[in-house]
Every structure is written in structure tokens, then in C-alpha cells.
């Protein structure tokens, strides 16, 4: 009964869109078993629903972890039915990717600004150092020119 309720909630949260039902059923069975104090491994859950790759089941579990239903206690989950729906995991992943690209662009702009400021300060420091160096006169100026050529 708990696994059925979990699958219903996953469907309401759009986790079933574009996916095979075996991954959702495996995740629901694994979560329901753990809710009722049965110690099942991901390997056991993937064997029950005939999933070859355990990564699929782990992916569904991490997607379920991001849903608000996963924040409920067992009693709250059994009694309360959340009315709000979540966006599909692919949609939220695309939003996060777009946000990351935007942040990277902003950081690149700020980095360019900081590099520009640093180069300005570097030029100022070099000109001040040139001004503050003592000027050699006489015989020593010819030696400095020869040393500078190497």
C-alpha cells in the first residue's frame, strides 16, 4: 500500500514522464521497504523489478529526494496528501543548468574587470618604480645597456 502511494506521489510530481515504470516501481518498493524497517539494498531492489543497471534506481531515488514528499515523516506521509505538484526533474535540471551558465558568465565578466584593474595597477607600479630608480651616469650607463641586450 505504501509503495502504491509513493508511485501516485511520483506521478503527481511528474517523475514518470519519459521514463519506464520499472525504475519508479523499484524506487517506490525500496523506499516503502525502508519505511517499514526492512533493510533492502539497491541491488535487491533492482533485482526485484528486473533493472539491469542499479544506477537507474539510484537516479530515481535522488530525484525523489529533491521532492517535497521526501521531507515528510512517515506519519505525515500516510496522513497528509500534498496538493502541490512539482516540476519534472528534467525541467528543474534544465533550470539549474541555465542558472549555472548565467553565473559563469557573470563571473567571467567580473574576472575580466578585475584583470583590467590589476593590469592598470601593474602599469602604474612599473612607472613609479622606473621613476624611483636611481639614474646611472657616466661610465656605468654603457654597462647597463650591454647587460640589457643579453
DSSP alpha helix (H) spans, 36-139:
42-48, 54-65, 74-79, 89-132
In a domain, 125, yes or no: yes
Let me know whether 81 and 104 are in one domain: no
Check if the beta carbon of residue 39 is closer than 8 Å to that of residue 31: no
Q: Please indicate, yes or no, whether residues 15 and 57 belong to a single structural domain of this protein.
A: yes
Predicted TM-score (pTM) of the model is: 0.44
Asked if residue 72 and residue 93 are part of one domain, the reply reads no
pLDDT in tens, the chain (150 residues): 777 777 777 777 677 666 777 777 788 888 888 788 888 777 776 667 777 677 777 788 788 787 777 777 777 777 777 677 777 777 778 888 999 999 999 999 999 999 989 998 998 999 888 888 777 666 766 666 555 444
Same domain, residue pair 44 and 80? yes
Cell 515504470 -> residue: 21
pLDDT computed for residue 89 by the predictor: 72
Query: Are residues 80 and 40 both part of a single domain?
Result: yes
Residue 16 lies in a domain: yes
Pair 30, 78 in one domain: yes
Q: Does the residue 145 lie in any domain?
A: no
52 and 116 fall within a common domain: no
Residues 70 and 116 in one domain: no
Residue-range definition of the domain harbouring residue 48? 2-86
Q: DSSP letter at 49?
A: T
Asked if residue 42 lies in contact with residue 57, where contact means CB atoms within 8 angstroms, the answer is yes
Q: What is the pLDDT of residue 118?
A: 92
| Any domain includes 98 | yes
Asked whether 61 and 30 are in contact (CB, 8 A), the reply is: yes
Same domain flag for 112 and 42:
no
Domain count within the chain:
2
Measured between alpha carbons, how far is 34 from 76 in angstroms, rounded to an integer? 16
DSSP state of 20: -
Amino acid at each position: 500500500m505504501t509503495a502504491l502511494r509513493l508511485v501516485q506521489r511520483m506521478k503527481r510530481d511528474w517523475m514518470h514522464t519519459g521514463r519506464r515504470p520499472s525504475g519508479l516501481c523499484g524506487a517506490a518498493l525500496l523506499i516503502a521497504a525502508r519505511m517499514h524497517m526492512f533493510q533492502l539494498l539497491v541491488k535487491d531492489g533492482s533485482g526485484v523489478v528486473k533493472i539491469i543497471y542499479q544506477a537507474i534506481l539510484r537516479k530515481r531515488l535522488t530525484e525523489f529526494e529533491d521532492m517535497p514528499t521526501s521531507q515528510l515523516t512517515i506519519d505525515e506521509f500516510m496522513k497528509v496528501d500534498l496538493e502541490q505538484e512539482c516540476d519534472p526533474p528534467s525541467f528543474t535540471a534544465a533550470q539549474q543548468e541555465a542558472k549555472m551558465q548565467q553565473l559563469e558568465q557573470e563571473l567571467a565578466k567580473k574576472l575580466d574587470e578585475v584583470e583590467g584593474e590589476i593590469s592598470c595597477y601593474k602599469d602604474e607600479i612599473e612607472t613609479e618604480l622606473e621613476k624611483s630608480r636611481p639614474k646611472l651616469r657616466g661610465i656605468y650607463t654603457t654597462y647597463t645597456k650591454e647587460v640589457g641586450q643579453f
